Every structure is written in C-alpha cells, then in structure tokens.
Amino acid sequence: MSSAAVEDIAPRTKSCSVYRTVEVVGERWTNLILREAFLGVRRFDQMSKHLGIARNILSDRLGKLVDNEILERRQYSERPPRFEYRLTEKGLDLYPIVVSLMAWGDKHLDAGAGAPVELVHADCGHVMQPKMVCSHCGDDVHARNVRPQAGPGLRETA
C-alpha cells in the first residue's frame, strides 16, 4: 500500500467500517452469542448454559443485539411469557465474520486435533473451508493482494 493511502485512511479510525462494526459486535460474549445463534440456538436458558455466562451479562448483550437489529425477540409462550432470539437479515449477514473467526481457529489453534466443527456446503455436499474471493474477478483475496483507498464515505466526512 502506498504511504499516501495510509496517511489518508489510517488516522480516520472512527470513519472506518471496521471501527463501526467493532462498536456493535466487537466484544467477546457478543461473538459467542452470535456463534450460538448461527448454530440455531434461540433460547436464553440454552445460551446461558452453553456459554456459562452470567444471566445479567447475557441479557445485556442480547438487548444490545436486539437494539442493533441483529437479533429479533419473539414471544413463543404466553404462560409463562417466554421469548426467543432469531437472527434478522442484518444479523445473518454477519456470517462471514463468524466463519472467518472459526476458520482461523481451525488453522492456528486446533492443537493438532483437527477442526472441532466442520462446515458442509449444502449446495455441493462437501466439507469445505470458507475462501475469500474478489467479487469482480473471483480470484483469491488475501492481505498481500489488496490495496485500500479512500472511498465515498471518507471523502464525504473529510
């Protein structure tokens, strides 16, 4: 990357989408709650049990995810009143983040035992690793073949 781009972009942390996203989901418990949600776990008591998380913290984090329209709270029982939490479309869009966290752990933190959880791609039926590619040409995207530049959202707030 050119140093001009660094000087243009790097100091503007708060105008960056990484910063904005991290403000919403960049917290340890929140990431683990999202893991549960993507595994299909919807109920407070189940999440609480799986995660070993204090109920007030779980309640707080779920409330924030609802406020940010990542989870939707739906009543599933009237007596007693009980609610479940389901990913919204906005929440479902977090999937690449959760899968990327998992793939990195599989590669670097498996202690030689292999992946604890495998992902089967329903469309082709094979166990797969997620691969990041360019939306334009379809070739691999990695840290060394991408160059950031100021976009419209940064120019607007210049």
Site for a copy of itself in 78-137 (CB under 8 A): 87, 90, 92-110, 113-124, 126-137
Q: Which residues contact 115 (CB under 8 A, 6 or more apart)?
A: 106
Binding region for a copy of itself (CB under 8 A) out of 3-11, 59-67, 74-82: 3-11
Torsions phi, psi for 50 (to 5 deg): -65, -40
Judged by beta carbon, residue 40 or residue 81, the one nearer a copy of itself is 40
Q: Does 32 bind a copy of itself (CB under 8 A)?
A: yes
The Cα 1–Cα 42 span in angstroms is: 43
- Min CB(111)–a copy of itself separation in Å: 8
Q: How far is the CB of 76 from a copy of itself (least distance, A)?
A: 16
Nearest CA-CA partner of 70 in 104, 105, 36: 36
Which of 41, 25, 40, 8 is CA-nearest to residue 96? Answer: 25
20 binds a copy of itself (CB under 8 A): yes
